[in-house]
Structure 1
């Protein structure tokens, strides 16, 4: 557990009324969903040269030994802006903007073709909805790409709002997406549980004053990466209804 007992007890008295989910690694399987997309994008940036594409992927956080992307890496936690600046540093402003748009468009197409859920999302969302919780998504993906992904998974209608990096002034780990969700849903940050698989999700939650910080092990991070920064760590979001039910029971 992350904070002192007195703070935790005070927080326990505030009911959770909303849940804000990260997307990649939390709702969708990161490697199955983004592995092929990142590889095809790297090949595009490398003009089809396999060795250069691999170099770009490794720079973005790819580990060839495990065929996964590292926790906190640009691929796992960054935005299209971060990836552009990593792969094409020093571009003139107009060329940089065009490259960011190109990356976003590539990701939007990939969101439709490769999205693979970590568990039956609609079943989890329907249980949370039945408990009266407002659901949203906060992602460092672009908003359009996230919307297309969630539509393809058949769960967009369950979500009150979707916030991408381009919908707020500052992306994660800044608190902007939590604040945007709260403003849209008429919630206080202390009434929101933030759920994510990377430290930037938990840091965003802490910066915003979220009521509950929940780490999941379905993405790029291991338990030791998350547990010092989360109030609780769970295997994946299928465990979430029980966790929130226990919190309500303990709060009396």
Structure 2
């Protein structure tokens, strides 16, 4: 933990409750893609990673870890590239507005962010949601002023698990990647940490990932970011 000066957080499942925030939004989008047919919409949700038996999204699934572009490509494979680009822009706008409006902060997350900010850590968000969605969510949670930057999949050349957001955050803050901790609930968060030379890869169990999926890549696994200030205080 010694030497960590900056923290990049994943958003969904790390800062906000993934299931509580996103199922209703995903269901609405799936119904639209299915032309209102309930059975077809359920099939689209399932292929995107929703486990109807457990009533949650699977770890590292397209919906849990992918971008809006990935979801459009999965649900609308028949459309041409231009149409897909326009549909992705529509998804970005809709999910940014609705994701922020319906965002549910994970217990203890806002207090942890305030403590880390007060402790002098530089804070950022790296998400495979859109940049607009990330910024609007931080505003809705009332914590935007404590963050230096938010990087969505559309803010960098290559989204997670590529390390672009780590490098962008390092350039912005003047920190070395080895001085940055990456915190997330899916493997792609930790893969980005490894690819970018982050000083610490922290998995959290507050989202769709499990101890089994995170352990091979994580330096530390926490229940949630509520435990993060205490962890970093040990350094």
TM range (shorter): over 0.9
Shift of 1:196: 0.2
Residue number among 36, 39, 43 corresponding to 1:51 in the alignment: 39
Structure 1, unpaired ranges of 5+? 1-11
Aligned partners of 2:196, 2:226: CA distance in 1, in Å? 25
TM-score (norm 2): 0.97
Aligned partners of 1:54, 1:21: CA distance in 2, in Å? 30
RMSD: 1.0
TM-score (norm 1): 0.91
Question: Which range is displaced more, 89-98 or 189-198?
Answer: 89-98
1:217 aligned residue: 205
Q: Please give the secondary structure, in 2, of the residue aligned with 1:105.
A: helix
Residue number among 82, 92, 97 corresponding to 2:80 in the alignment: 92
Aligned partners of 2:174, 2:77: CA distance in 1, in Å? 40
Task: Spell out the pairing of 1:132-147 with structure 2 (5 A cutoff).
Answer: 132-147=120-135
Q: Tell whether the 8 Å contact from 1:121 to 1:155 is kept in structure 2 after alignment.
A: no
Q: Tell whether the 8 Å contact from 2:127 to 2:152 is kept in structure 1 after alignment.
A: yes
Aligned partners of 2:133, 2:190: CA distance in 1, in Å? 22
Moved over 6 A (4+): none
Count of aligned pairs: 235
Aligned partners of 1:133, 1:108: CA distance in 2, in Å? 27
Structure 2, unpaired ranges of 5+? none
Shift of 1:126: 1.6
Shift of 1:125: 1.3
Task: Spell out the pairing of 1:1-252 with structure 2 (5 A cutoff).
Answer: 15-246=3-234, 248=235
Shift of 1:90: 4.2
Aligned partners of 1:89, 1:148: CA distance in 2, in Å? 29
For the pair shown, which has the larger CA radius of gyration, 1 or 2?
Answer: 1
Q: Please give the secondary structure, in 2, of the residue aligned with 1:167.
A: coil
